[in-house]
Structure 1
Amino acid sequence: MKIFIDTANLEKIKEANSWGIVDGVTTNPSLVSKENMDFKTLVKEICKVVDGPISAEVMGDSAEEMVKEGKELAKIHKNIVIKIPMTKEGMKATKVLSSEGINVNVTLIFSAAQALLACKAGARYISPFVGRLDDAGQDGMKLIAEIMNVLDNYDFNTEVIVASIRHPIHVIDAAQMGADIATIPFDVLDKMFNHPLTDNGIKRFKDDWAKCENTTKRPSKQKNTSKAKK
């Protein structure tokens, strides 16, 4: 499973990328609004850090507006993926952009029916939001299972990005279901490294090594072979 980082913060992207596990980046208007940088400039900087798909979202309501914005964003870098909402106008825009070779990530998917329509429209990626479903009292991961089951029956050139991830369990569940990608917030990625037994094991190794070093450095006792004077 590929791992994307879900943030627009450059420092977090650089740090996560240094771990050697980041395959791409997803952003959205809410994430971008937290950064003190022009949107297009920010996207350009992100493309310099991560060599993989970088999702940038359009803000237009009509298909024409989305297509125009999408084409402008696609000019920024070859790795740009145009993020488009799951609406009728969004599907019109997806069809146009995908037919021109521009990759589209259809976002805000909350049902298998929506996922199927996005695939039919030519989406390169679809982003079902599991955390928001959980927040609404539903089982977000059940949706991923449904979508993967549907897509396994067909030959769509579409990858499933599990989005709105809240904790590491979402990531593991997604991997077990065979999802193509999980886009993960920085704090959740950070938590995935942690386990108390790993910490305890490192501490024990360090303590034992310190004992070994102390034993090695201890001066050896030499026997006095000189004869006592008479």
Structure 2
Amino acid sequence: MNQLEALKQFTTVVADTGDFHQLAQFQPQDATTNPSLILKAVQKPEYAPLMRATVAQFKDRALDEIMDRILVRFGCEILSLIPGRVSTEVDARLSFDTQATVTRAERLIELYQAAGIHTERVLIKIAATWEGIEAARILEQRGIHTNLTLLFSFCQAVACGQARVQLISPFVGRIYDWYKKQAGAQWDEAAMAGANDPGVSSVRKIYNYYKHFDIATEVMGASFRNTGQVLALAGCDLLTIAPELLAQLSGQDDSTKPLAPSLVPATAKAQNLERLLYDQASFRLALNEDAMATEKLAEGIRAFAADTQKLELLMQQAA
């Protein structure tokens, strides 16, 4: 058994890619996309015709609608290859506008439904700002399931649990990046690996809190830098993993050091934890107190917004 197969015994494996031709070899349950991954895909010769065809078909529509149709087209292709769900992201430039996020999410779902896809197979990805979490609360009440992304802090996770969102994506690698950069020459890679990795410990804390208080929101670790981070979170509800790391895991033998789950509901239940509750003011204060989360959330929104604009430019050139 390889490590990917071993991991699948404890955790639902999700492919983090817009390159759907890679999916079959890893047989993930679900798949996630984002503007950066779609931008990367449409610049490959095998995907450019898909974008051009969609732009040509809907060239008289507004740019934002054509964008959504491209995202849904990719989503439908992905869903034809996996048994589970696909995550499709709302325009990151709407991250601070609750109503606009709700409206855009509802349009994405309508486009999926028009393509014959059941709502249960789609997760709408939204940045975990206060406004984004509020949009997710409204969408969940309307039967549209959400995946709250760009999640770096415990307060974001708690607020998402309060909003009863379907799933959260805490970013392991980007947390790790921040602490490593801050430490500079003092960073000890070996000492900060495994359970001591700041990104890994962040997800572990969230997982334990959710399981302890029976919060139904699924935890999906995301943004990994190496297979060690992935394996340290065996037992997490889901892990979304880039194809490069999936390939490494499938090439590594599990027999010499068999994988055991490090996240276990019974362990979480046994902990002595305090239940937290956030309103808008206390959430903003808690997020502001976390320099890493504040910086990485802002940086992530900027990066996704920039890639969305690049994608729009490619669409205009294809028209």
**TM-score, structure 1 normalization:** 0.79
Q: Percent identity?
A: 32
Supply the distance in 2 between the matched residues of 1:174 and 1:197 (Cα, whole angstroms).
Answer: 16
* Residue in 1 that maps onto 2:312: none
1:5 maps onto 2:15 in alignment = yes
Q: CA deviation at 1:197?
A: 9.7
Q: Is the 8 A contact 1:66 1:93 kept in 2?
A: yes
Q: Deviations over 1:126-159 (max 9, x none)?
A: 1100000111116111101211221122122211
1:15 maps onto 2:25 in alignment = yes
Supply the distance in 2 between the matched residues of 1:197 and 1:190 (Cα, whole angstroms).
Answer: 14
Q: CA deviation at 1:39?
A: 2.0
- Matched to 2:16, the amino acid is D
Supply the distance in 1 between the matched residues of 2:209 and 2:249 (Cα, whole angstroms).
Answer: 29
Q: Is the 8 A contact 1:73 1:80 kept in 2?
A: no
Structure 1: runs of 5 or more not aligned: 199-230
Supply the distance in 2 between the matched residues of 1:114 and 1:197 (Cα, whole angstroms).
Answer: 35
2:237 counterpart (174, 180, 205):
180
Between the two structures, name the one with larger relative contact order (CA 8 Å, sep ≥ 6): 2
**TM-score, structure 2 normalization:** 0.58
Supply the distance in 1 between the matched residues of 2:72 and 2:246 (Cα, whole angstroms).
Answer: 26
1:44 counterpart (76, 80, 93):
76
Supply the distance in 2 between the matched residues of 1:12 and 1:165 (Cα, whole angstroms).
Answer: 18
Supply the distance in 1 between the matched residues of 2:31 and 2:79 (Cα, whole angstroms).
Answer: 9
1:103 counterpart (145, 160, 164):
145
Structure 2: runs of 5 or more not aligned: 1-10, 43-50, 52-69, 181-197, 256-319
Q: Is the 8 A contact 2:72 2:88 kept in 1?
A: no
Flag the structure with higher strand content: 1
Pairwise mapping of residues 1-230 of structure 1 onto structure 2 (< 5 A)? 1-17=11-27, 22-36=28-42, 37=51, 38-59=70-91, 60-61=94-95, 62-75=97-110, 76=112, 77-78=117-118, 79-137=121-179, 139-175=198-234, 178-195=235-252
Q: Deviations over 1:81-113 (max 9, x none)?
A: 000111111012101100011111001111111
Supply the distance in 2 between the matched residues of 1:169 and 1:89 (Cα, whole angstroms).
Answer: 34
Give the secondary-structure state (helix, strand or coil) at the position aligned to 2:239. Answer: strand
Higher radius of gyration, 1 or 2: 1
Flag the structure with higher helix content: 2
Supply the distance in 2 between the matched residues of 1:88 and 1:152 (Cα, whole angstroms).
Answer: 23
- Matched to 2:249, the amino acid is M
Supply the distance in 2 between the matched residues of 1:95 and 1:193 (Cα, whole angstroms).
Answer: 37
Q: Is the 8 A contact 2:87 2:125 kept in 1?
A: yes
Q: Deviations over 1:10-41 (max 9, x none)?
A: 21123323xxxx11001111101112232221
CA RMSD of aligned residues (A): 1.7
- Matched to 2:139, the amino acid is L
Q: Is the 8 A contact 2:71 2:88 kept in 1?
A: no
Count of residues paired in the alignment: 192
Give the secondary-structure state (helix, strand or coil) at the position aligned to 1:105. Answer: strand
